Amino acid sequence: MPTTAPVLAQLVRSRTDLLQNGWTDRRITASVRDGSLFAFRRGWFMAAADRNRLWPEQKHHAHVIAVARDARGPAVMSHSSAAVLWGLPLYAMRLVRVHMTTATPRRISSAPDVFRHVAPLPAADVAVRGGIRCTSLARTVFDLIRTLPLTTAVAVADAAERQMADRQWEWDLDAVVAWRRGLGQRLSEAGGARGIRQARWVADFADGRAQLPGESVSRLHLRRLGFADPELQVPVDGPDGTVYFVDFGLADVRSFGEFDGKTKYLDEAQRSERTLEQVLLDEKQREDWIRGRTRWGFARWGSEHISTPAALAARLSAFHITPP
């Protein structure tokens, strides 16, 4: 699956590029009509087979590349469009239009596939990602946690903090403190800006130790259901000196929880050359050890169980785990 910005940049092709490589206008029109060629906007395309293999954020990233190549003037990519350039997840978002921000209202009309914002844009809030000008990571998070639905905002805030502090197997607490201080100051200076109350709540709740958007949403639902805030990535001594890490430690009900994304089982790279059967057996043995070692309850859930707090509550209840 193509995932990186350089690969996406090669897959996004202009009409001029296609014509120079043997296509004709008639072939382009026919390919768009029969669905084998996807048109982002007038003059910019991607093979439908390539696009269909992408995650939603990657599809939007490709759209951003097309718009950036067409763009003129001072506007930069922002909001959800900057988020994909920074590699932030956009949980359950329908990404239709590319978002851009400019500090000047001149020539600000929005194209059908572009929404342009007018807002102050100091130089410190502008960065370059993959050759595309966009809002800085801090500004992007600030814009998004004020305006996105709460579940998506929490996933964005968690992922940004993780990006700042994750050092492979080490957690940089100094980086966490600096990131939170900077975000807090930005929110404090924002006064009565739109969505500021939600943004402050999200910034206080954020925890970069959540490794997946599903973990972020699960943590939010656990709070809504009345559980104490769980410990994240809890270490449990395993056999022969190994250490297992469990997603959630619910100390108030003496239970562990794990969010299982399908990629863990279906992605060959993440399986480390193990068969699906071996992965499932290893997970069962790991879970059995943790249960036996700690005498705590254990529940697993997936994306289908976090659509609402009630859905997660029903899943946990099936394992006899309920709020205290």
Question: How do residues 175-216 score in pLDDT, each as one tens digit?
Answer: 999 999 999 999 999 988 899 999 999 999 999 999 999 999
Closest CA to 71 of 120, 133, 17, 121: 133
**CA separation for the pair 105, 8 (Å, rounded):** 31
Domain with CATH 3.40.960 in the chain: 213-318
pLDDT, tens digit (0-9, with 9 covering 90-100), for 227-279: 999 999 999 999 989 999 999 999 999 999 999 866 554 555 555 667 778 77
Q: Which fold has domain 213-318?
A: Endonuclease; Chain A (3.40.960)
Distance set, CA 9 to CA 107, 215, 278 (Å): 27, 30, 37
The model carries a pTM of 0.91
